[in-house]
Structure 1
Amino acid sequence: MNDQRRQGTREPYAGPGASSSLKKPPGSISHAENSQQAGRILVTRNHDVIRRWAEQRGARPATMPGSEYDGRLGVLRFDFPGYGGAVLRAVGWDEWFATFDARRLMFRYQERRADGGPSNFNRLEQSQRDDW
């Protein structure tokens, strides 16, 4: 597989083993401004933005049980009402954000789907940027 644009994929610039944010053309990452544009994917590290986004959807901070290591949180997730809560363990915002910051993660999310409806799309990715 190569790094060329692939038709019909969500991450057309992503190559094998690479963060999609590193393979997209410069300027393609959108931050929280203009966040209401339908279908737009945004990226932030701002705790207030992340928490507001989750709470507007009824989502709570969570982790995958058994993914902890050395007493620290493992896989970070959001527990959305009606989705997978039985397999997730609720955690507090402070612990969730401490792990988020320690791992230098970025939050990729969508406010509205292309059809204008609310979106729950989100992904946590390792940031390779020094200016975050």
Structure 2
Amino acid sequence: MPTTKNSGRGSGSTTNPPGNQTPNTPDINESDIARLKVDQLRDRLRRRGVTDTTDMQKDDLVKALIKSMRDDSGRSSSGGSGSSGGIRTGAHTSSSIRYSQEITSVDDEPERAGRSLVTTDHEVIRRWAEARKGVPTTVDGSEHDGHAGVLRIDFLANGREERLSEISWEEWFRAFDERRLNFIYQEERSDGRQSNFFRLESPDREDG
């Protein structure tokens, strides 16, 4: 009796080739998304406004999240702020990013005081910095080939930090996007006071 090979589409299994299978979307890595747990997938979809996921199986959740991220990338490339706000993932995505609340627009709010947040949205980052009198800077001597070097934000209320040179937001965000960085930060400390904490991190482990 002839046998038929399983294509991998039945019995709840999904074939996920490694890397990014979606053209023109460098921030979407299907294999990383497929490794997320069901609760993580539902949580990320909820933050993107997709709430009717109770009866969805993992395969459908993966497809829905990829579609949502792809749609965001399409809106961005057609004339947005330069970033959809979606986190950048890769082989070395850190636990800090996985367990941070994803912020995709200035309308998103932290779930609670002290919550770790992550975004790539330019307007979110700019507003956060300017609310703290922060300016975009680069570390002196780290420039290369005419491009900004190590990126930092300097908070002028604390006095100008040595070895930092102010650059334009346009130049800062250009380097931020080219290096596929994520912006991990806090709005408030756990006691409700304003927080200046932030860190730049890449799934490729490139120094911010």
Q: How many Å separate the matches in 1 of 2:96 and 2:172?
A: 28
Shift of 1:69: 1.0
Q: How many Å separate the matches in 2 of 1:114 and 1:83?
A: 25
Indicate conservation of the 8 Å contact 2:97/2:184, yes or no.
Answer: no
- The match for 1:31 is 102
One-letter code aligned to 1:100: F
Runs in 1 of length 4+ with deviation above 6 angstroms? none
Aligned-pair Cα RMSD in Å:
2.2
Q: How many Å separate the matches in 1 of 2:126 and 2:97?
A: 28
Indicate conservation of the 8 Å contact 1:109/1:121, yes or no.
Answer: yes
One-letter code aligned to 2:112: Q
Shift of 1:85: 2.6
* Larger of the two Rg values belongs to structure: 2
Shift of 1:70: 1.3
Segments of 5+ residues of structure 1 without an aligned counterpart are: 1-17
Give a deviation string over 1:67-103, Cα, whole Å, max 9, x none.
Answer: 0111111100001022453321000000000000000
Which of these residues, 81, 94, 99, is aligned with residue 22 of structure 1?
94
Which of these residues, 168, 175, 188, is aligned with residue 112 of structure 1?
188
Residue 73 in structure 1 maps to residue 148 in structure 2:
yes
**Partner SS state of residue 100, structure 1:** helix
> 1:49-128 residue pairs with structure 2 within 5 A?
49-81=124-156, 82-127=158-203
- Return closer, same or farther for 1:24/1:121 CA change in 2, 3 Å cut-off: closer
| TM-score normalized with structure 2 length | 0.48
Greater fraction helix: 2
**Partner SS state of residue 94, structure 2:** helix
- The match for 1:47 is 122
Higher relative contact order (CA 8 A, sep 6+): 1
| TM-score normalized with structure 1 length | 0.74
Q: How many Å separate the matches in 1 of 2:137 and 2:125?
A: 14
Shift of 1:127: 3.3
Greater fraction strand: 1
Q: How many Å separate the matches in 2 of 1:46 and 1:107?
A: 9
Segments of 5+ residues of structure 2 without an aligned counterpart are: 1-90
Q: How many Å separate the matches in 2 of 1:79 and 1:24?
A: 22
Q: How many Å separate the matches in 2 of 1:98 and 1:112?
A: 27
Q: How many Å separate the matches in 1 of 2:96 and 2:125?
A: 23
